Structure 1
Amino acid sequence: MFPPGAGPFPFLPGHREHGCGRVPCPDVAHATTADGARIWYDGDGDGDPVLLLPGQSLDSRMWGPLATDLAARHRVILMDNRGTGRSEDGAETDYSTALFARDALAVLTAQGIDRAHVYGFSMGGRIAQVLATLAPDRIGALVLAATGPGGTEEVPRSEAANEALRTVSTPAGRAALTELFFTPDWVRDHAELVESVTPSNSRRSQRRHFIASTDHRGWDLLPRITAPTLVLHGGDDALTPPENAHRIAGRVPDARVRIFDGARHGVHLEARPAASDTVLDFLAQNPLD
């Protein structure tokens, strides 16, 4: 799929430059959903497949070098949630985590993948909760990072954090979001990755994503998850307080929890490589076959 010698995911974090330069680009792979939306996906690596579900208003760039870490042992499937990156909005106007979960299934089906591990980050973790109960026979192991159960059972974020999400299209909102994701020292040393957590969708789509995440109700779903589950969280996450990791693990049978002290919301990058190694070890303990 990639040019010889390019290595895994050569277009991360700047994959929007690939192909024709239009969004969505007709020269790359898309899965078509029930309402006709074309959902972009790509993949690389060998081994048990792992589907990566991005966070609210983010596209697959957000995974950065983590995708390459996992591709050392797995076939890693990247996708852009509808309305972000190179995926279309579709005709469905009422966005929900259930709708996004059905989109994820369409991506797996388009690639002929019967079962895959699933790694969801933030809102992607909410989508993964739905996916694991919607199609349990198609899910291997489940990784839920920096996410919560939603509803009144979730330990809420501050109003300042909500305001950052609502105003993310403004310079002040983007600056606030960066501070919620990463410590200043990490930003200074990894400036090239900060853009990866910049929303890539329109203001209309940002509102739809915000509503979908806010309206998620996973509390009653969690005990129905049968997949082996790993819950990851940053100990200093103010966007999704870390108490939510323990709330989720207390509801999912036999779930494991790993808290990375000092990391904020972007635990998948800020706590790397330890976070990547934790996921790789967990998947190795729970092979698809």
Structure 2
Amino acid sequence: MPYFHSDGAALYYETTGEGPPIIFICPPGMGAGTFYDHQKKLKNHFQVITFDNRGSGKSTEGSREDYTISDWTEDIRALADHLKLDKVIVCGYSMGGVAAQDFALSYPERTAGVILLTSFSEVSTPVLSLGIRIVEFLGTFHIIKLLAVVLSLSHTIGIGAKKHRKKIFKSIDSSNPQIVKNLFRSGRYYNATDRLPEITCPVAVVHGTLDVFFFKYQRLFEKKLPNVRSIRVEGIDHQVAVRTSDEVNGIIKSLKNWMVPSSQE
């Protein structure tokens, strides 16, 4: 199995396909399997890279549990280094989008583009704050199996999704609860809103039309980012990345030439 190393941890990753490299970043605990459909459908257009976050799935946690957003960013950089990639597209889902923003701010010279799937630049609404605090609570009392059940079921529907559901469940269920808790807590205090104008590469912001609690964050991105495209997927709420993966894959393919002109591939 392929691994790369970052700050004392061995992190599992998968790569498939050819073309401009795109690193998918899942929310804490959910694992590389979150983007199972994207791997299959995008491999003819991109080098699709997924990985298990530190302390989840097949990745180890290293020697420390005080994990933060900036540490997460360094793990992504280490993955790009390991694969000898000069520039990458970073695609983050939910809190994974926070790491994508932080990567673009920390390593602008290595960021070809950013895709944010129902993400946020700050936690400034009661609903989002409450949701994150609930995950922190589950991490505090090590009730990680309950989180695994809720997230694997809410992200996959139908009999055909059984394999995908199992992948997400196994990753979360094997997560280090303390690392998940600390990463969500770090994300709750993270605020990149005032720095968004520094991200000058192409940024696509994707939200579901039913995800009313995230409309505020979409408007923040539209207002602050200098080179942004805002896209809404009809009839879906927060789980746009997984439950409407066909639509999202189509969107990502349509962004390819904008983020990586053919002369730069």
Match of 2:188 in 1: 214
Q: Percent identity?
A: 21
- Give TM-score scaled by structure 1 length: 0.79
1:122-201 alignment runs, 5 A limit? 122-152=94-124, 156-157=127-128, 159=130, 162-163=133-134, 166-167=137-138, 169=143, 173-177=147-151, 181=155, 186-187=157-158, 190-198=161-169, 199=172, 200-201=174-175
1:243 and 1:88, CA in 2 relative to 1: closer, same or farther beyond 3 A?
A: same
- Cα deviation for residue 191 of structure 1 reads 3.7
Partner Cα distance (1:175, 1:85) in 2: 15
Partner Cα distance (1:36, 1:194) in 2: 30
Q: Which amino acid aligns with 2:175?
A: N
Match of 1:286 in 2: 259
1:60-139 alignment runs, 5 A limit? 60-139=32-111
1:91-111 per-residue CA deviation (whole Å, 9 max, x = no partner) reads 343211111011100011011
- Cα deviation for residue 172 of structure 1 reads 5.0
Q: Which amino acid aligns with 1:259?
A: R
1:173 and 1:94, CA in 2 relative to 1: closer, same or farther beyond 3 A?
A: closer
Question: Are 1:225 and 2:199 counterparts?
Answer: yes
Partner Cα distance (2:245, 2:42) in 1: 12
Q: Which has the higher helix share?
A: 2
Bigger shift: 214-223 or 172-181?
172-181
Residue 177 of structure 2, aligned match among 186, 199, 203: 203
Partner Cα distance (1:155, 1:251) in 2: 22
SS at match of 2:12: strand
- Cα deviation for residue 263 of structure 1 reads 1.2
- Cα deviation for residue 179 of structure 1 reads 6.4
Kept after mapping to 2: 8 A contact 1:146/1:242: no
Question: Are 1:42 and 2:23 counterparts?
Answer: no
Partner Cα distance (2:148, 2:9) in 1: 28
1:183-234 per-residue CA deviation (whole Å, 9 max, x = no partner) reads xxx3466343333443140222222232232222221231111110001112
Bigger shift: 207-216 or 52-61?
207-216
Bigger shift: 59-68 or 247-256?
247-256
1:178 and 1:111, CA in 2 relative to 1: closer, same or farther beyond 3 A?
A: closer
- Structure 2, gaps ≥5 residues long: none
Residue 254 of structure 1, aligned match among 217, 227, 240: 227
- Structure 1, gaps ≥5 residues long: 1-27
Q: Which amino acid aligns with 2:72?
A: F
1:243 and 1:194, CA in 2 relative to 1: closer, same or farther beyond 3 A?
A: farther
Kept after mapping to 2: 8 A contact 1:235/1:262: yes
1:160 and 1:125, CA in 2 relative to 1: closer, same or farther beyond 3 A?
A: closer
SS at match of 1:233: strand
Partner Cα distance (1:45, 1:94) in 2: 34
Kept after mapping to 1: 8 A contact 2:129/2:188: no
Kept after mapping to 1: 8 A contact 2:61/2:176: no
Question: Are 1:31 and 2:4 counterparts?
Answer: yes
Bigger shift: 216-225 or 162-171?
162-171
